[in-house]
Amino acid sequence: MERKIIFLTKAFLPEFEEYINEIKDMWDTHWITTMGPKHNVLENELQKYMGVDNVSVFVNGHSALKLLANAMKLTGEVITTPYTFISTTHAIVQNGLTPVFCDVNKDDFNIDVDKIEALITDNTSAIIAVHVYGNPCDVEAIDKIAKKHNLKVIYDAAHAFGEKVNGKDISEYGDASIFSFHASKVYNSIEGGCAVYKDEGIKDELLKLRNFGIGNRDVEYVGINAKMNEFAAAMGICNLRHIDEIIQCRKELTECYINRLDKIEGIQVMAKLDSELVRRNYSYMPILVNEDVFGLSREELLKKMNDLGIQALSNFYPITNRFSCYKNIYGDAETPNAIWLSEHILLLPLNTELTIDEVNYICDTVINLKENS
């Protein structure tokens, strides 16, 4: 018998007809890429949805981050965290900048604001912090530190699309934020991403960098090709119409997980619900596995779940500066919490195709594995 696999992520797709309707006019215009009408509609719709002035879309979130750091003229050292997707660290290094790794909090996986100031030197130009799993960073404390030391702040908000902090869109904090619209994220445009920024002054350069640096009959900057095509933009337009139902669906699944898993000793449920301060997007379902109490290590639980067709993931493991491309360049002595979290984290399946029955099955499986360990 073929066993059904429960996927960690599954891309949200609109109804087939909705997408077909959205792309139909491309067969008249043949405008399928390079800042076409869909591209421009998407930028406008995103601006409206987020309630912000400057949104520029890109072929993916990574390009948005890389080009934003370029257009904002960051120099020297950038304070960041290693408990993230490799993209964050790559974007810094690819700009010829030096990542300085700050440790994270054990309760929210985000930059520990009390450890930032000790890392600031004369060469520090910015903080690039990550809203890990959609947990908002301590944006007010970061803002204060940045103002005091004249640093720029960029948030890697790849996990945080649609979130509000203190009633404001999460992208309103810091100087700029990037979002990822990759298929695996809460909101997708197949592949895609955007930059949201306050300084209108960087717009011209940022948009040219996205298109090889080409300006008016001249090439003004050493840019790359990071333009979003019209098929991706059309998917983004369709999926934005469904963002509220996507978040609501994920919220209900998360509530079910939390109710079931909170009672299991040795499992620390790290997913959080909405609060007065934060409207969440329920992007991931992180738990921490305490081997001594649970009876199985994270690796053992992961393997047993995967063997049973439940696609869990030990993400983020290892921390970025332990991958071979950075291992001998940037040490990890300063970030014990990041290392510890990376060794205990497990992401459970969470996507809009998942059912409450499947969540119950996953939770039953975790309980059974504990009892048989």
Ligand X SMILES: *Cc1c(COP(=O)(O)O)cnc(C)c1O
Inter-axis angle of helices 243-261 and 230-240, nearest 10: 60
Binding part of the chain for ligand X, among 119-127, 154-162, 273-281, 299-307 by CB under 6 A, reads 154-162
Contacts of 80 (CB under 8 A, 6+ apart): 88, 89, 92, 99, 100, 101, 102, 111, 127, 128, 129, 130
C-alpha–C-alpha distance, residues 28 and 34, integer Å: 16
Q: Is 79 in the site for ligand X (CB under 6 A)?
A: no
C-alpha–C-alpha distance, residues 248 and 302, integer Å: 27
- Please say which residue, 66 or 164, places its beta carbon nearer to ligand X: 66
**Residue 25 neighbours by CB distance under 10 Å:** 13
Q: Is 159 in the site for ligand X (CB under 6 A)?
A: yes
Show the beta-strand stretches assigned E in the chain. Answer: 55-58, 77-80, 98-101, 124-130, 152-156, 164-165, 168-169, 176-180, 193-197, 267-269, 278-279, 286-289, 345-347
Q: Say how many residues make up the chain.
A: 373
When binding is defined by CB under 6 A, the residue of 62, 66, 280, 344 that contacts ligand X is 62
| Site size with ligand X, rule: CB under 6 A | 14
- Please say which residue, 182 or 260, places its beta carbon nearer to ligand X: 182
Residue 368: how many CA atoms within 13 Å on its side-chain side? 9
Per-residue interface string for the shown chain with ligand X, residues 203-242, x marking contact by CB under 6 A:
----------------------------------------
Binding part of the chain for ligand X, among 12-20, 81-89, 296-304, 356-364 by CB under 6 A, reads 81-89
Give the DSSP H/E element, type plus range, for residue 311: none
When binding is defined by CB under 6 A, the residue of 9, 54, 56, 60 that contacts ligand X is 60
Q: Is 182 in the site for ligand X (CB under 6 A)?
A: yes
C-alpha–C-alpha distance, residues 267 and 60, integer Å: 34
- Please say which residue, 60 or 229, places its beta carbon nearer to ligand X: 60
- Please say which residue, 223 or 266, places its beta carbon nearer to ligand X: 223
CB of 94 to ligand X, least distance (A): 12
When binding is defined by CB under 6 A, the residue of 102, 130, 165, 302 that contacts ligand X is 130
**Residue 12 neighbours by CB distance under 10 Å:** 22
Residues 189-208 that bind ligand X (CB under 6 A): 193
* 3-class secondary structure, 126: strand
- Please say which residue, 9 or 268, places its beta carbon nearer to ligand X: 9
When binding is defined by CB under 6 A, the residue of 84, 110, 124, 320 that contacts ligand X is 84
Beta bridge partners of 101: 80
CB of 157 to ligand X, least distance (A): 8
In the complex, which residues of this chain contact ligand X (CB under 6 A)? 60-62, 84-85, 87-88, 130, 156, 158-159, 180, 182, 193
